[in-house]
Chain A
């Protein structure tokens, strides 16, 4: 019976968790924490339910000695098989292909089919009769004509390809080191085999297999030496070269985007409308505001929303700072915080700590948008 008492309960709880996650998601306007948590709770429950089904609540009676006799451990030995291993490798190749190139993917799929076929035939053959020898014969008769040539060709191809790839990718000095390393490895295993003569040939085979796999893996890895397209943009943008708060510059600096700001912590939204109006929306104030209050010394996040057609940025000016450069020389610089330029519909937040009250400054604190006349919000810092 698949559906045991506890698996029933566990499946039920899994379904309940899903429902709870849904309710949470709806009730909290799409807040993710609770919903993801519930989703995983559901996964865990359903997983345990499946295990409970599988083990029939683990309820094998302690007096059931027949279970011992029929347990797998006491079954007699049958032939060995490398097919699971082969399946693993081909699965690996398939996934590599999926990510990198269709060619490798196709090879992987072919391998996978071949290996699974072999595994299944072996499995079938083992049950063909009670005689192991007969079973092996049946299997070989079925499969050998197919598998030997294919396997040989494939092995050769993989080795050649991988080596060439590794060579191509390595610089000269590194190449030398790699080869020294490989030499040492081969020497080591050779010595090992020599010392321990009875070492099982299959173990040796396995070690070589692993080396082969490693080689193939490295080859694939170097062949795929590239990045996903989306990521290259950040590098291309080179923010430092463009930083600044003026209209011409595009980015503020690296920091601006690094300080990830939570939407839930937004002090005010500053919105630039299509017709060049700038207004603020802040929690607790009704409607559109032309002035906002920023708490002194408090990290405050202001979100800029650009609805105009141009790429724009928001600049918050909050006074000046005078640096003493020594020898009575002073440098005055404006205190500013700005977002990067964003396209229409884009948003960008800036987190700022204003240390001085606005009353301490001769010039009023403002939020402006460079290049848009009259777009100004007064900022008051108590």
Chain B
């Protein structure tokens, strides 16, 4: 079936995979730095006793309402993206082009859904960035997250194009791509817990 005797391929050395792992590590520090600042700000906020609910940290302005459903949906979407990305790897390893393509499409779609959820959260909260420490921090941290998600979407798009344009042999890129989405999900889980749940 082959049209030419192939030169021996370089052995699979997982450069892209290891490289993506390093990107993820660096981005962990990015998100971690943001969360560190967030918790520092929050820890330094004074608290007061609420008559009904015990101590309340006066950290989040009281007129801000976090759309939790959207945040939760966003988290779910992240988990789904992960499985989709892994599905793409799985299919590609089995030379199942159609499923791999489909999984990549789904990855892109669900990735966009996370982005959409983030936009929805921003528009719903209507926070003024100049309003204070919480507001500034909220935008900073979600902005960084969004930036990382956009990078992930670009990654997915690239992986998709490459997959479509190439043969079946781009498994290394696909698995590295899945790794990045795993990282994003982990990072968002942390952000979700700290920013949307604990606040």
Chain A–chain B contact at Cβ < 8 A: yes
Given A55-B14, A91-B83, check contact A260 B58 (CB 8 Å): yes
Q: Which of A39, A78, A88, A227 contacts B80 (CB 8 A)?
A: A88
Q: Which has the most chain B C-beta neighbours within 10 Å: A47, A79, A84?
A: A84
Contact B69 A221, beta carbon cutoff 8 Å: yes
Is A171 positioned at the interface, with any CB of B under 8 Å from its CB?
no
Complexed CA–CA distance, A264 and B42 (Å): 12
Contact indicator A62/B11 (Cβ below 8 Å): yes
Please indicate the chain A residues that have their CB under 8 angstroms from the CB of B44 in the complex.
Answer: 260-264
The A260-287 residues at the B interface (CB cut-off 8 A) are: 260-264
CA distance A64 to B62 in the complex (A): 63
Q: Which of A77-97 contact B (CB under 8 A)?
A: 77-82, 84-85, 87-89, 91-92, 95-96
Distance in angstroms from A272 CB to nearest chain B CB is 13
CB of B10, distance to nearest CB on chain A (Å): 7
Q: In the complex, which residue of chain B has the Cβ closest to the Cβ of A61?
A: B11
Give the residues in chain A near B10, CB-CB below 8 Å: 62
Residues of A within 8 A of B46 (CB): 261, 263, 303, 347-349
Does A334 belong to the interface (CB within 8 Å)? no
Q: Flag A343-373 by CB within 8 Å of B: 1 or 0 each.
A: 1111111000000000000000000000000
Docked-complex contact A202 and B32, CB < 8 angstroms: no
Residues on the A chain within 8 Å of B96, using CB: 77-78, 80-81
- Given A51-B21, A254-B61, A263-B46, check contact A84 B14 (CB 8 Å): no
On whether the beta carbons of A91 and B12 are closer than 8 Å, the reply is no
Q: Which residues of A contact B53 (CB under 8 A)?
A: 230, 233
Query: A43-B28, A62-B11, A348-B48 given as contacts; is B39 within 8 A of A32 (CB)?
Result: yes
B162 at the interface (CB under 8 A from A): no
A260-B134 contact given A75-B95, A91-B79, CB 8 Å threshold: yes
A33 touches B40 (CB 8 A): yes
A130 proximal to B (CB < 8 A): no
Let me know if A41 and B32 touch, CB within 8 A. yes
B99 touches A347 (CB 8 A): no
Within 8 A of A (CB), among B1-40: 8-15, 17-18, 21-22, 24-26, 28-29, 31-33, 35-37, 39-40
Indicate if the CB atoms of A225 and B62 lie closer than 8 Å. no
Check: A342 CB closer than 8 A to any chain B CB: yes
Q: Which of A85, A226, A262, A345 sits near B49, CB closer than 8 Å?
A: A345
3 closest A-B pairs by CB: A40-B32, A88-B83, A234-B62
Chain A residues with CB under 8 Å of chain B are: 30-37, 39-41, 43-45, 47-48, 51, 55, 58, 60-65, 67-68, 71-73, 75-82, 84-85, 87-89, 91-92, 95-96, 99, 200, 202-203, 206, 210, 217, 220-221, 224-228, 230-231, 233-235, 237, 239, 254, 257-264, 303, 311, 340, 342-349
